[in-house]
Each structure stands twice: as structure tokens, then as C-alpha cells.
Amino acid sequence: MVTMFCFKPRSFTAWALMALTLSAAAQTTVRGRDFIVAVVDSVPITNHDVIQRAPQLRDQLQQQGRAIPVGDALLKAALEKLIVEKALIQYAKEIGVTVEDESVDQAEQRLAAQSQLNLEALHKKVKAEGSSVERLRQNLRDQLVLQRLTERNVPGRIKVSDVEIDQAVRERQNASIDTNPDIELGHILIAVPEKANESEVATLEAKAQTLLGNLKRGDDLARMAKEFSNGAERDKGGLMGLRPANRYPTLFVDATKPLKVGEVVMVRSGAGFHVLKLVTKKASSVVTITQTHPRHILLRPGGQLSQTSARAQLAEYKRQIEAGKADFAKLAREHSQDASGPEGGDLGWVSPGMFVPEFEEAMNKLQPGQMADPTVSRFGVHLIQVLERREAPISERELRDMARNHLREKKFDETYQLWAQEVRGRAYVEYRDAPQ
């Protein structure tokens, strides 16, 4: 198994570590007096805390397309967010959830990389904006604690029934009728010889138009195909067989897409005139997913190699490859620190959800043949290239697993909110002066 593979039980971006810590790194000194607005289990929340959280909450609501409170209402909503967060952190301490320094170091490095800074520059920026490195790291530690606490408590509360899975599978299968339905076409070919003159072509076109009109009036397809068609399926009653639409010629699919079952149309190709009848159209019995075939070069910062140096080195590899001066597979074999290195960085065909979110997000943006800029993940720094993509059939079991995971994703936020409010309800909360 390649070391950077990681099934993604649930993307944490809606409540992401980086989204929360970016504002922590950008805290500014509040002019004027500060005061306590609430206390949660002896932990104070200050007016300064609320003012810093309010813009972040506004941005999150805007990204989610939700209504944004204004004025005092926004400050009140930010205060409630902080109260829940403080209650959760206190609960985490009670049950012994901890975060090691190494994890905080990695989170700090990811934050620096996302800000396109090295650690030294990030620290200078934090200090220049009135905060401190210690406060930044404490915010990072708190958010990691909250993430671990949530991952420990929420997934087990999410319940997905077989009835819900059955319904989701049916919806997915029915959706295939619009994307890649199973169709069967009736086909009559009036072949046009390669050296036919205009008069001969016109005569053959008139013949095809007559057959088209006869089919519209209800004449028998099988009889007409056997008598007039030059196509290979003439002895099969003109029927081309039931199969997924993407296994028919694109010309035929495009021409028959607007048709209802029983309707006919005529198209021209290099072979001649094709009279087509849509005999059957139904949801595909084969459900497919988009698979990607990527490769990558992984450098793991540590020792003499900093994250900044790793990114610069991979950026140079990318430049050399694009200029035709280096070969991706050769560089991967020589330099990649992943188990895929000896295979030229080749990761094979992969389905959605098989990589960590940072890697998968960068990969999904690429067209076949393209390379991403160096990408930072929890495993290190990657140079990613997509080789090709395909639609691959999935088994009924795989389809049900996908449906179950999708339903769990949809229920995660609601379940989290209910659980967080339970924890908040057990905490002692004392309101003081209203935030200003």
C-alpha cells in the first residue's frame, strides 16, 4: 500500500483547521479597553476574542451561502460559537484528548505553506500584526484538539439505515438515464459509394428519406432493414443491441438523444445515410465512477530539507519536465520518498476518496497530462501529474458503500451540532457584559 493513501471518512473543511487558524495568525491589537463578556467553566471569553471571531464567522456563512447577521447579532453569534468551542476544549481536557508537539509543528508548516511563507516569515507576520507565536501555536493546538475530539465522538453517532441506502442507490441508478443510459437503436444504412457523384448521392438521400417517412408512419423496421439496409445488422432486424450509450458511435448518440422511444431520425456520415430508431432507453444497469491515474514525487521535509526547500526542488523538477529536459518517472525513481518511487511514482487507477484531501483536491483540478504546482499534505510535499481518466463500472457493494459514505457526509454537520450543544449544555456558562 502506498504510504500516502488515506481513505477520507469525512472532509473536515467545513470546520477546518486552516480556516480557523488563519484568523488567529492575523490578530491585531485592540485599541481601547478589553473586558470579559462570558465565562465557560472558569475560562474567560473577552470582547477582543469576539471581535476577532466575528469576521471569520461572517466569511464562513458567506461561503456556505447562509444568511449573515449584522451588527450586534453578528457579535452575539460569534460569542455563541466561542462558548461552544471553549466548552468542547474543556471537555477534551476532562477525557484526556491531547496533541503532541510534532502535530502542532506540522500544522504550523501547513499554515505557512498555504500562506506561501516559510516559518520564519510567518512568525514575523504574526508578530507584526500584534499577536505572538505562542498564541498562534496555542490556537493550532486547540483546533487540533477539537478535530480529534470531534472525530472520536461524532462518527459513531451517525446512523444510516438500509432503507436510506436503498433510496440513494435507486436515485444514483436513475440518474444514469440522463448521463449514460442503456439504449438500443434500430439502424438502416443506405451506403454511399466513395466515388458517387452528386446525382447518385441525391438519389440515395431521397431513398433514405422515404424509408424515414415509412418508419414514422409505423412500417416494420425488421422488414425494411432486411430489404434495404447495407448495415451489418440487417439480418438482426436492424437492431444494434442493448448497451450503454457510450458504446455507440457519438454521431448516433447525439442524433437520438432528443428522441422519445419509437421516434426516428436520419443522419449522414462518411459511410452514407443512417436511419435510426430509438427502440429502448432505460437507466443503465452498470453504474460508473470517474477514476484517475496519477503519479507523484514525494519529498518529506526533515533534517537538512525544509518544507520551503522541498517545494523549490519540486518546482524545479516541474520546470525541467515541462521543458523536456527531464523525465518524470526517472526523477521519481531517483528522488521520491514514497513507496511508489520505484514504479516511477505511478499510483495506478484510483477511485474518489482514496487520497488525503489536500492531494485529492490538487489532483482533481488537473487535466490528463497536466502537473500541479508543489502540493503540501500531511505526508510531505508532492509533485502531482494526472496521466489519464476513465469511467469505470462499480459493483453493487461498492455502490452501496459509496451511498452510505455520502449519507454519512450529509448527516455529519447536523450530528456534530447536536453533540456540541449537548456538551455546551453540561458546561457552566456565565454571561457578563454584552460584546461591543
Query: Treating both helix axes as pointing N-terminal to C-terminal, what angle do 72-95 and 47-63 enclose, rounded to 10 degrees?
Result: 100
Residue 13: the pLDDT is 36
Residue 307: the pLDDT is 79
On whether the CB atoms of residues 97 and 103 are closer than 8 A, the answer is no
The C-alpha cell that represents 386 in the structure block: 494526472
Residue 9: the pLDDT is 39
Please give the backbone phi and psi of residue 302, each rounded to the nearest 5 degrees, phi first: 155, 155
Residue 301: the pLDDT is 80
What's the longest Cα–Cα distance across the chain?
Answer: 96
| Residues 394, 398, 403, 409, Cα dihedral to 10° | -110
pLDDT of the chain, 436 residues: tens digit per residue: 333 433 333 333 333 344 444 444 344 334 446 899 999 998 999 998 899 888 888 888 887 778 888 888 999 999 999 999 999 999 999 999 988 888 888 888 878 877 778 888 889 988 888 888 998 899 899 989 998 999 899 999 999 999 999 998 888 777 666 667 889 999 999 999 988 999 999 999 999 999 999 999 999 999 999 999 999 999 999 999 998 888 899 999 999 999 999 999 999 999 999 999 999 988 766 677 889 999 999 998 877 777 788 889 999 999 999 999 999 999 999 999 999 999 999 999 998 878 888 899 999 999 999 999 999 887 889 999 999 998 888 888 888 888 888 898 889 889 999 999 999 999 999 999 888 8
Residue 177: the pLDDT is 60
Compute how many other C-beta atoms are within 10 angstroms of the C-beta atom of residue 2.
Answer: 20
Residue 176: the pLDDT is 60
In angstroms, the Cα distances linking 222 to 226, 229, 251 are 6, 10, 22
> Beta strand 36-40 with 429-431: parallel, antiparallel or unpaired?
antiparallel
Residue 202: the pLDDT is 94
Q: Which residues pair with 92 in a beta bridge?
A: none
